[in-house]
A = this chain, B = another copy of it.
Amino acid sequence: MTDMVIELDAQGGRHLYEQIYDYVRQEIREGRLSCGERLPSTRSLAEFLQVSRSTVDLAYEQLLSEGYIEARPYKGFFVCRIEGLYDLQRVQEEQKERTEYERPHFRFDFSPNVIEPEGFPLGVWKRIVRETLIDENRELYTRGNPQGDIGLREAICHYLHTSRGVNCLPEQIVLGAGNDYLLLLLEKILGGGRIVALENPTYKRAWQIFGTFAWERVSVPLDESGMRPDKLRESGADLAYVMPSHQFPTGVIMPIGRRMELLRWALEKEGRYLIEDDYDSEFRYRGRPIPSLQASDAAGRVIYIGTFSKALSPAIRISYMVLPGELLAGYRERCGFFSSTVSRVDQAVLNVLIRDGAFERHLNKMRKIYKSRHDCLLECCKRYLKNIRISGENAGLHLILHYHGEKTEEELLRQAADKEVRIYGMSETYIGRLPENWQPALILGYAGLDEDELRAGVRLLSDCI
């Protein structure tokens, strides 16, 4: 038995028992105390170190808990057999650089996927948060319903009915922290081995997400009414992911006739569903909102997904999925044990925001702002840019510029980037080969830039387009 010459520091911040524990642990890890060796008894070590016996007891107990030593009755404490104990002067070989999704600098970014951050209704949100974070609401700090709070689901149910014609009960609504998460749940609900059809071109992130599923993906071409039912049939798909009210990126609105055709397709075989992504339906600047596809679905074949990311902020992670009644049992069985991903405080605040009308007022305000930006961008493009035809107006948060000049899409993007303007090529929204007779086209989002910026950005673009 070795002597334990431990230099104890009674003044330091560390407990004496911790210092003893550290010393012995280090001796074992570095092989100076080896397997089977007996440790001094707690009494003798306490005397030797001039500390109380309970201090040594505590140190030994910790070593016991962690498995460095073992107690043999009537015999004392012994170092355990620990194979392969290597000390970890861990060198962090991983690249230290922060690649971290950084992008080159642009003065004007016409991204179709951002919204105006100044638009977030901070004042009213803050007021409701203040009213929500009170002692009377302690219930909020418990786990909550996996589908989301029933109060908020009721508010969303009513909102969807009046604004989007969606017919559902709060029981059919599942809240989640973003559409991506809800799609992950959907994979579990619908099970593996599915074939999902997406419009071509489409929202590329949905394509990527489905790519992580135990599903097959197929792309189905669009015509001027949306996804082609003949090609959908040929594809062998049993699920179709569509954006009927404002297709991304084309802006195509699916007419009622095509909607009925797709619903008929879904009804032809057991287990077929349409996944309706109603991603930016709040923003339409002429006439009434286009009703949802779910509103025309009497047979429970539409899974409806929407989000508050565009209407409120992508930072508030709340999306909703409306499941057909038929899928509810499957949801409860296969996903009912997943904890909700949505912050309960955010749920409570959003509930009040919708119920007291502040959400509707916020939407009206943003619609006005985005309509002005839409009009401004449209006018600037018509005025300053050559060789273009514009489509996808009057709704959403972006325009499409069809280009019939001599440059390639890549050249246009690069020349814009040289001017520190970021625009987006529509070819990137296609799956696989581009259509025959493809002409370059550009996607210009206007939600993240104010009118001065839009004007300045388009003027810079006029040098290359």
A interface residues, Cβ below 8 angstroms from B: 17-18, 21, 58, 61-62, 65-68, 80-86, 88, 90, 92-96, 98, 100-101, 113-114, 117-118, 120, 122, 125-126, 129-130, 133-135, 138-147, 150, 167, 169, 171-172, 176-181, 184, 188, 192, 205, 208-209, 212, 214, 225, 253-261, 263-264, 286-288, 290-291, 295-298, 313-317, 325, 328, 334-346
Contact = CB atoms under 8 A, between A and B. Distances in A.
A59 to B, nearest CB: 8
A50 B148 CA distance: 50
Contact of A169 (B96, B256, B315): B96
A319 to B, nearest CB: 10
A339 B316 CA distance: 12
Contacts of A209: 337-338
Contact of A84 (B62, B67, B192, B264): B264
B212 A188 contact: yes
A315 B140 CA distance: 7
A144 B288 CA distance: 33
A176 B339 CA distance: 12
Given A120-B141, A343-B315, A334 B177 contact: no
A260 B85 contact: yes
B129 A169 contact: no
B142 A122 contact: no
A138 B167 contact: no
A100 B256 contact: no
B181 A80 contact: no
Nearest to A288: B62
Contact of A85 (B61, B208, B225, B256): B256
B298 A84 contact: no
A464 B451 CA distance: 74
A68 B256 contact: yes
Contacts of A344: 315
20 contacts: A58-B286, A61-B286, A62-B287, A67-B259, A80-B255, A83-B257, A85-B260, A94-B171, A95-B171, A96-B169, A100-B171, A114-B142, A117-B139, A122-B133, A129-B133, A141-B313, A176-B341, A177-B341, A184-B184, A341-B341
Contacts of A297: 88
A276 B205 CA distance: 31
Contacts of A65: 253, 255, 287, 290
B172 A94 contact: yes
Contacts of A81: 257
A186 to B, nearest CB: 12
A259 to B, nearest CB: 8
B343 A142 contact: no
Contacts of A134: 122
B122 A61 contact: no
A261 B83 contact: yes
Contact of A125 (B133, B144, B315, B328): B133
B338 A180 contact: yes
The 8 lowest CB-CB distance pairs between A and B, nearest first, are A67-B255, A177-B341, A315-B344, A94-B325, A62-B287, A120-B141, A82-B257, A143-B314
Contacts of A295: 88
Contact of A317 (B61, B92, B126, B340): B340
Contacts of A113: 143
A257 B85 CA distance: 8
Contacts of A114: 142-143
Contact of A192 (B80, B126, B214, B288): B214
A298 B86 contact: yes
A108 B62 CA distance: 34
B339 A67 contact: no
B214 A315 contact: no
Nearest to A113: B143
Given A184-B184, A257-B82, A339 B169 contact: no
A313 B345 CA distance: 11
A317 B288 contact: no
A139 B93 CA distance: 32
Q: Which of A62, A169, A339, A340 has the most CB of B within 10 A?
A: A339
A317 B342 contact: yes
A198 to B, nearest CB: 15
Given A114-B142, A117-B141, 20 more contacts: A18-B288, A58-B286, A67-B256, A67-B259, A86-B298, A90-B167, A93-B325, A94-B328, A122-B135, A122-B141, A126-B133, A176-B341, A177-B181, A177-B342, A178-B341, A180-B341, A212-B334, A317-B340, A341-B341, A346-B346
